[in-house]
Amino acid sequence: MTSQNDSGYAIYNNTPNFHPVNSIYENRLRQFIDKHGQYKDFNVPKFYDQERIWNTAGDDTSAGFVNLGVYAVPHLDRPLFRDVVPHAEFTPASKGQSFGPSWKTFWFQVAICIPSKWIEAQPEEIHFEWDCGNEGLAYSEDGTTLKAFTGGERIELALPKHLWVKEQTHTFYIEVACNGMFGNGRNGSDIAPPDENRWFRLATADLVLPNLEARRLGVDFWILSDAARELPSDSWQKHKARTVCNQIMNAFNPEDVASVATCREIAQEMLGKDINSDAVYHNHLKNSPQAVEVVGIGNCHIDTAWLWPFDETKRKVVRSWTTQLAIMEKYPEYIFVASQAQQFKWLKQYHPETFDRVKQKYREQQFFPIGGSWVEHDTNIPNGESLVRQFLVGQRFFLENFGFQSDCFWLPDTFGYSSQIPQLCRLANIDKFLTQKLSWNNINNFPNTTFNWIALDGSQVLVHMPPANTYTADANFGDVMRSLHNHKNLENDHQGMLLYGKGDGGGGPSEEMLEKLRRCRGLSNTVGLVPTVQVGATVDDFFASVLERTNNGKDLVGWNGELYFEFHRGTYTSQADIKKFMRLGEVKLHDLEYVASFASLRGYTYPRKELEALWEDLLLCQFHDVLPGSSIEDVYKDAKPMLRNVIDRCDELLKKALTHIGGGKGAKPAIEDVTFVNTLPWARSEVVESSPEKALVYVASDESGSVSTAQADSIKYPATVSRTSGSTFVLDNQRLRATLSNGILVSLYDQLNDRELIDTQTGTEGKDFVSADLVGGNQFVVFEDTPLSWQAWDTELFSLMKYKPLAYPTTFEIYDSGPLRSSVKASYKISEHSSMDVVISLDGLQSLEGDLSFLRFHCDVDWHEECKFLKVQFPTTLRTSLEASYETQYGITHRPTHWNTSWDVAKFEVINHKFADLSEFNYGCSVVNNGKYGFSIHGNVMRLSLLRAPKQPDAHADMGRHVFEYGIYPHRGALGMDTVKLGYNFNYRMDETLMLSGPRITEAAGLLNSISLESRDQSLILSHVKRAEDDADVTTHDLPLQYEGHKSLILRVYEALGGSSRGILNISGLNVAKIVKTNLLEEDLEEVTVESTKDGATAKISLRGFEVATYRVVLK
- Contacts with Zn ion by CB under 5 A lie at 303, 413
C-alpha to C-alpha distances, 755 to 216, 924, 960, 970, nearest whole angstrom: 79, 10, 39, 9
Shortest Cβ distance from residue 535 to Zn ion (Å)?
24
Give the nearer residue to Zn ion in terms of CB position, either 44 or 434: 434
The radius of gyration of the chain from alpha carbons, rounded to an integer in Å, stands at 33
- Pick from 367, 369, 295: nearest CA to 331: 367
Asked if 170 contacts 111 with a C-beta cutoff of 8 angstroms, the reply is yes
Name the residue number minimizing CB distance to Zn ion: 413
Nearest to 465 by CA among 548, 563, 560: 563
**DSSP structural state of residue 459:** -
Give the span between the Cα atoms of 1031 and 1073, in whole angstroms: 14
Of 274, 278, 413, 431, which residue is the catalytic one?
413
Closest CA to 805 of 731, 759, 717, 872: 872
Spatial separation of the C-alpha atoms in residues 826 and 632, rounded to whole Å: 34
Q: Are 1030 and 1045 in contact (CB under 8 A)?
A: no
DSSP character for 160?
P
**Number of neighbours of residue 504 by Cβ within 10 angstroms:** 18
Cα 880 to its chain centre, rounded Å, is 34
135, 182 contact by CB (below 8 A): no
Enumerate the β-bridge partners of residue 53: 207
Question: Which conformational region is residue 27 in: left (phi greater than 0), alpha (psi within -120 to 50 degrees), or beta?
Answer: alpha
Other beta carbons less than 10 A from residue 529's beta carbon: 15
Output 413 or 562, the one with its CB closest to Zn ion.
413
Mapped onto helix, strand or coil, the DSSP state of residue 996 is strand
Distance of alpha carbon 904 from alpha carbon 926, whole angstroms: 21
Whether 434 contacts 464, CB under 8 Å? yes
995-996 and 736-741 beta bridge pairing:
unpaired
Taking residue 450's Cβ as centre, other Cβ atoms within 10 Å add up to: 27
In which element (H, E) is residue 146 found?
Answer: strand 145-150
413 is catalytic: yes
Q: Which is nearer to Zn ion, 375 or 1080 (CB)?
A: 375
Residue pair 126/208 in contact (Cβ under 8 Å)? The answer is yes
CA–CA separation, 1099 vs 1090, rounded Å? 5
Contact (CB, 8 A) for 773 and 779 = no
Phi, psi of 361 (to 5 degrees): -70, -20
Whichever of 164 and 182 has its CB closer to Zn ion, that residue is 182
CB of 470 to Zn ion, least distance (A): 12
Quickly list DSSP for 638-685.
HHHHHHHHHHHHHHHHHHHHHHHHH---SPPPPGGG-EEEE-SSS--E
Cβ contacts of 1095 within 8 Å, gap of 6 or more? 1068, 1069
- Residue 303 or 796: the one with the smaller Cβ distance to Zn ion is 303
Taking the complex as a whole, how short is the minimal distance between the CB of residue 413 and Zn ion, in angstroms?
A: 4
Nearer to Zn ion, 378 or 413 (CB): 413
Question: Is 374 exposed, middle or buried, given 0-12, 13-18 or 19+ CB atoms closer than 10 A?
Answer: buried
Q: Which residues contact 431 (CB under 8 A, 6 or more apart)?
A: 407, 425, 461, 462
- Cβ burial of 691 (10 Å; 0-12, 13-18, 19+) is exposed
Give CA–CA dist 604/28, Å, rounded.
Answer: 79
Q: What are the residue numbers of the active site?
A: 413
